[in-house]
Structure 1
């Protein structure tokens, strides 16, 4: 179970994808190309992750309507 969590957390397009939820570390992209505050708001060409604060993961971005509750 622990190994699955590590793999799922780091996987792009996985359950905890950083493109969708935001980066887990402040002011860094997933690929490591951008690593400073001065790159704020830039979307990395390599990984597609926006360079922002990690607390954006706490805010809801949208809702998924399910067929069955």
Structure 2
């Protein structure tokens, strides 16, 4: 969560999405890139052993064709 978001008291869903995926053994879909030592969704998911992919990865997993 960015400091700006905390200071402006804007709702932030990221921690709740990650927690839901952990509890339900789900997968987080995000367009953020994995950046070691950065508080990005893929990095947190990797540290917590939560499956995480982007939209392209979701479409490939599900066999979507256009």
Q: Same-fold call, TM > 0.5?
A: no
Richer in strand (by share): 2
TM-score (structure 2 length as normaliser): 0.30
Richer in helix (by share): 2
TM-score (structure 1 length as normaliser): 0.29
